[in-house]
Chain A
Amino acid sequence: MLEQTVSLRPRPTWRFVATSLTGTSHLAAGIPCQDAWRCRALPTGEIIVAVADGAGSASLAAEGAEAAVGAAIDSLAAHIAIRYISADDAPALMRRVFQDCQAAVIDRAAQLQVEPDELYTTLCCVAVTDNLTAVGQIGDGIAILDSGDRVSVTAISPQRGEFANETYFLTMQSSLTFLEVRVLPEMVHALTLTTDGLLTLVGQGPHFAPNEETLSHLFDFLAASSDLQSAQQDLADWLRATVQPRVRDDLTLLLAMRS
């Protein structure tokens, strides 16, 4: 999952760590981790990230989540490579990215000879360029952005009805009508993406306000980590010891910040 290229030009460089842990309820039932993540720091200074959470009710949800994040990163990278993207262009671009991701999941379902609803998955992705930060979501992921002055903004909150286990999926009928896009006209300093298993870690209160104290510690951890491979392991060990005993769902946490 780890892809990073170091630029020789004076472009922003990014450091990131991420991990997905199989939920203890999944382990007990013999179900694989149905979360997936991808992150790619481009040599031209942009970073693109994605997380997906397959539906527990779908038999091949893990396949759907993998297909979605892979397609999200490839599509975003391709669009960024061919042209400058203004803040005005970003919503339409994000829509095309989600169309690409839908097509990728439907193709994967066809390869597996199942209906697309067996690969139901959410998708949340972020692109950070030198002039903007764009977030797109269908489902109940969480994207939190930090503009550098330690003020965290919940860019995208989970899309839910009243109940915790009901949300939208990428390949549902008319799902693009549920696509939510947020664009900040600046390159953020840091960002966090999670699936809903970590909602109570990074968010708080009835409106999922960012838990600034927790986020501050997470970014301090990333800033102080000189070896990102070790940091990835440290993050997984900490989630396993601290969060996993009390949250039964799959857990995915992605942290990225500019060096």
Chain B
Amino acid sequence: MSDPRSSLERIKFEGNPEPRCPVVLLLDTSSSMGGEPIQQLNDGLRLFEQEVKNSPEASVRVELAVVPFGGGPRVVDGASGGAQTLEWNAAKAFVTAGDFQAPSFTAMGDTPMGEAARRAVSLLTDVKAIYKRNGIDYYRPWVVLITDGQPTDDGWREAARMLRTEESRRGVTVFGIGVDQANMAQLGEFCTRQPLRLRGLAFREFVLWLSNSLKSTSQKRAGEQIALPAPSDWAAVDTSTR
């Protein structure tokens, strides 16, 4: 009789079997971010790359789409350090965190935050459909919206409402992060939870919090609650928002 273990050896178990957590980084790279803020944002992205790559969970579960929106939203190739702008195609826009190469941005243009939010919703809707078609489990997607200003495009309120509605029906978790003189009240229209103002330019602390939070999303739980580490060391208390 043959060795029973030979039956086990015939089993094919290929590909990445882990559930995925799609994350869209909506980054304000408008001209007002020039100087120290854009430098800190770029440094933060490099740190984020290290952190997610060093996490065995995040490196295979988190899938990132990077959308800078200074002068108009575009999705950049996260696998090549943002060297190329990609077409709006969810199949290409997301890169597994283990393959992420942090892009570096130059500040320019206005702040069409509404159009960026629409693009994020569209990318996430499409990537979820791709996961479903391929039998890939996924966690609730995240949108991280970082801005130092206020929306400049027509119709941003409608786009903000669309993103907030998506969050209300539990289709996405949105984190609004205000930098410097960001209009926190308008940023607050894009998310159901209160946006947080970055203390100074504490991108480093924020990135460490973000990567730690992403590691904890996979814990099995009942219903809605996401238990995230408290953002104590990077967020300032801001009473100017709702």
* Chain A residues within 8 Å of B, Cβ to Cβ: 24-25, 28, 53, 55-57, 117, 120, 140, 162-169, 172, 199-201, 203-208, 213-214, 217-218, 220-222, 224-226, 231, 234-235, 238, 242-243, 246-248
Q: Which residue of B lies closest to A209 (CB)?
A: B135
Complex CA gap A162/B218 in Å reads 14
A203, A208, A221, A222 pick with most chain B CB within 10 angstroms = A221
Contact A248 B219 (CB under 8 A): no
| Also in contact, A165 and B218, with CB within 8 A (given A217-B11, A224-B4, A246-B17) | yes
Specify which chain B residues have a CB less than 8 angstroms from the CB of A206 in the assembled complex: 132-135
Q: Which residue of B lies closest to A248 (CB)?
A: B57
Q: Is B239 an interface residue (CB 8 A)?
A: no
Complex CA gap A194/B2 in Å reads 27
Contact B13 A242 (CB under 8 A): yes
Q: Is B161 an interface residue (CB 8 A)?
A: no
Q: Which residue of B lies closest to A238 (CB)?
A: B8
Specify which chain A residues have a CB less than 8 angstroms from the CB of B133 in the assembled complex: 206
19 examples of A-B residue contacts, CB within 8 angstroms: A24-B56, A162-B170, A164-B218, A165-B218, A166-B221, A166-B222, A167-B222, A200-B135, A206-B134, A214-B12, A217-B10, A221-B8, A224-B1, A225-B4, A226-B1, A234-B8, A235-B8, A248-B56, A248-B218
Specify which chain A residues have a CB less than 8 angstroms from the CB of B135 in the assembled complex: 200, 203-208
Specify which chain B residues have a CB less than 8 angstroms from the CB of A247 in the assembled complex: 17-18
Contact A246 B16 (CB under 8 A): yes
CB distance from B113 to the nearest CB of A (A): 26
Among B28-36, B73-81, B84-92, B136-144, the one that faces the other chain is B136-144
Closest 5 CB pairs of A and B: A56-B219, A164-B137, A200-B17, A224-B4, A164-B19
Complex CA gap A7/B170 in Å reads 53
- Other than the given A24-B56, A238-B9, 17 more pairs (CB < 8 A) read A25-B218, A28-B56, A55-B219, A57-B220, A162-B170, A164-B137, A165-B217, A165-B219, A167-B220, A204-B135, A217-B8, A218-B8, A221-B7, A221-B8, A224-B3, A238-B5, A247-B17
Specify which chain A residues have a CB less than 8 angstroms from the CB of B138 in the assembled complex: 163-164
Pick the contact of A248 from B2, B18, B128, B217 — CB < 8 Å? B18
Q: Encode contact with A along B76-111: 1 for CB under 8 Å, 0 otherwise.
A: 000000000000000000000000000000000000
Q: Which residue of A lies closest to B10 (CB)?
A: A217
Contact A201 B2 (CB under 8 A): no
Q: Which residue of B lies closest to A246 (CB)?
A: B17
Pick the contact of B4 from A172, A213, A234 — CB < 8 Å? A234
Complex CA gap A168/B140 in Å reads 17
Q: Is B227 an interface residue (CB 8 A)?
A: yes
Q: Which residue of B lies closest to A34 (CB)?
A: B220
Specify which chain A residues have a CB less than 8 angstroms from the CB of B132 in the assembled complex: 206
Contact A169 B222 (CB under 8 A): yes
Q: Encode contact with A along B223-239: 1 for CB under 8 Å, 0 otherwise.
A: 10101000000000000
Q: Which residue of A lies closest to B128 (CB)?
A: A162
Contact B7 A220 (CB under 8 A): yes
Pick the contact of A199 from B57, B137, B217 — CB < 8 Å? B137
CB distance from A162 to the nearest CB of B (A): 8
A28, A169, A248 pick with most chain B CB within 10 angstroms = A248
Complex CA gap A200/B134 in Å reads 11
Complex CA gap A256/B6 in Å reads 19
Specify which chain A residues have a CB less than 8 angstroms from the CB of B17 in the assembled complex: 200-201, 246-247
Q: Which residue of A lies closest to B131 (CB)?
A: A206
